[in-house]
Amino acid sequence: MAWWAVLILALLTLGALWLGLVPGGFEGENPYRRIFRRILDGRSASQRIDRVAILTSFMVVGASLCISLGLGIMVGSLQVVRNRVCRFLGAFYVEAVRGIPVYVMLLFVYFGVRNLVGDYVTLTPFFCAVAALGVAYGAYMSEVVRAGIMSIPSEEIEAASLEGTPVQVFGYIILPQALRTILPALANESIALLKDSALVGLITVVEITRAAEIHAGSTFQYLETYAVLAMIYLVLSLILSRFQRTLERLYGGARAFKEA
């Protein structure tokens, strides 16, 4: 109920802004339609970019999410194995990366790593942004995955290990149950990643936040521009939240049918 209330309020606000029902601009003009186009597109006469800003935002979030999930599953699994070296390596990665702010990680990869390997390979700002966010959120995802694995009864894992190889046990027994348990936490991290993707404009990646900043700086319509941007992020976050709840219902229903 609360989700629907917030979504309706956000959509009504966006509609009011688009129709010019909210005061803004100069001398009674409606600046919001131009703001919408400039934020979602990002291109202008002085700003040449490879793709529209909203597509860049989706690509950064999607690619970073895939990397962080892969790292999270791998490192989270390392932290629960019996081998002490593997557990140490997993814990070392988590403690080292989790203590670095995402902002600093972006600067380190773009200005540090990029310049270090510049003589051998060219790293684009987009690649640096995805790598920094993926590595940073991989540490958070790994702790979520580790908690999910540890929530599975050890007797169930031991019984399954008698019938299959470690890879089969992990793929068919451990991982599916862990994912069902940690879906809400993974969704929260995904929403946090979406919001932190706004930082990649600092390393010249033109996504919706950077496009909004450019437009606001050229028109001095800061209040109007950032109001539109805030509503866009709110709607995107609500969509992710609903997708997570849908997955929970589908996963729970499929599991209940299987057990029956």
pLDDT recorded at residue 257: 39
- Tens of pLDDT, residue by residue over 28-80, are 567 888 888 888 886 654 555 556 889 999 999 999 999 999 999 999 999 98
DSSP alpha helices (H): ranges in 20-52?
32-41
- Tens of pLDDT, residue by residue over 100-137, are 999 999 999 999 999 999 888 999 999 999 999 999 99
Q: Identify the DSSP state of 122.
A: P
Q: Do 193 and 68 touch, CB atoms closer than 8 A?
A: yes
Q: Identify the DSSP state of 108.
A: I
Q: How high does pLDDT run on average in the chain? A: 86
Spatial separation of the C-alpha atoms in residues 149 and 143, rounded to whole Å: 10
Rank 29-33, 100-104, 182-186, 213-217 by mean pLDDT and report only the highest.
100-104
The residues spanned by each domain of the chain are: 1-45+208-260, 50-205
Spatial separation of the C-alpha atoms in residues 171 and 180, rounded to whole Å: 13
Asked whether the predicted pLDDT for residue 138 surpasses 60, the reply is yes
Q: Identify the DSSP state of 199.
A: G
Question: For 50-205, CATH number?
Answer: 1.10.3720.10
pLDDT recorded at residue 28: 59
Asked whether the predicted pLDDT for residue 161 surpasses 80, the reply is no
pLDDT recorded at residue 135: 96
Asked whether the predicted pLDDT for residue 230 surpasses 60, the reply is yes
Neighbours of 161 (CB within 10 A): 15
Asked whether the predicted pLDDT for residue 15 surpasses 80, the reply is yes
Spatial separation of the C-alpha atoms in residues 17 and 234, rounded to whole Å: 15
Reported pTM: 0.86
